[in-house]
Amino acid sequence: MTNVTIAISPDWTIDLNIPGITVLEWDFKTPPPAEHIDIAVGPHVTTPDLVERVAETGAKLLQLGSIGYDSIPRDLPEGLAVANAASVHETATAEHALAMLLYAARDIDRVTANQREGHWETFHTLGLADTKIVLIGIGGVGSAIAQRLAPFETTVLRVARRAREDMYGRVYSLKDLPELLPEADSVIVVVPLNESTENLVDDEFLSSMKDGAILVNVARGRVADTDALLKHADRLKITLDVTDPEPLPDGHPLFEEATLITPHIGGNTDAMYSRMNRLVRRQVGNFISGEPFVNVVLGDKVP
């Protein structure tokens, strides 16, 4: 029988009551709990030193707890694969993006302020029906957002790195943004962080958006230039689940100027635990059977 050693961050509760499987808890800060580990399941928050720590154990797979892996170095040790947590966080993050969008579109901040003051005020809001939304990024989270926008009867213009046609229609490229942004009632940003997307949302980008438009950033903090966000916060409705720096220091002006800031909790729902459980069980099953790992973003797929 195959003996497999799995080290799992205490962030997760993984059911691996399988003969031949040894499960160890590891916080990825202290020394490894065993001399050799086959699969390491990292914490929810991905840090640059994970690879270095896991490499000491001879592991074949580092399973991340996040979809993003921009902090992971690209020069992996031979034989180590890194997999992201695709399938774990997309639905919850899309749900959160919609909540942020609705918060801004229906002026919920104004409503809650009135409630705290015991004041009844009726007013007109933008809403979502018949509005135009530019969705930048159509990967797993972006696609989940697009699916959830459909019942709201909006016009969604999807933007990716390159223009193309797919089964859902036209996909615009990032080069088309100067034409798309001025007509958008809302802009949702959900791109990965890389050289082409860092500071994508800059002064020029925000200047192109019309007064009163909504910006939702559920990508990475460094996708948006913080100084530019502050400059345009008085005329745009800026909602952020991610910031630069992150965490945002106490008293930072963005707290006061932005319409809504949430502390990078887009994927943090109860669903992520059961979904991570399923993903890890699949990875272990593939390791035992000699099948390729899934969700591999760096390194080799084959155990």
- Residue among 25, 246, 256, 278 flagged as catalytic: 246
Specify whether 264 is catalytic.
yes
Residue 33 contacts residue 26 (beta carbons within 8 Å): yes
Q: Which residue type, as a one-letter code, is found at position 154?
A: T
Q: In this structure, which long-range contacts are made by residues 296-301, counting pairs with CB atoms below 8 Å and at least 24 apart in sequence?
A: 296/81, 296/82, 296/83, 297/69, 297/82, 297/83, 297/84, 298/69, 298/72, 298/74, 298/76, 298/81, 298/82, 299/76, 299/79, 299/80, 299/81, 299/82, 300/79, 300/80, 300/81, 301/81
Specify whether 158 is catalytic.
no
User: What are the residues whose beta carbons fall under 8 Å from the beta carbon of 132, sequence distance 6 or more?
Assistant: 154, 155, 157, 183, 184, 185, 186
Specify whether 220 is catalytic.
yes
Residue 37 contacts residue 5 (beta carbons within 8 Å): yes
Count CB neighbours of 290 within 10 A: 9
Q: Where are the alpha helices (DSSP H) in 233-270?
A: 253-257
- Residue among 89, 96, 158, 220 flagged as catalytic: 220
- Residue among 53, 222, 264, 275 flagged as catalytic: 264
Q: Which residue type, as a one-letter code, is found at position 100?
A: M
Distance separating alpha carbons of residues 281 and 265, to the nearest angstrom: 25
Distance separating alpha carbons of residues 4 and 25, to the nearest angstrom: 14
Catalytic residues: 220, 246, 264
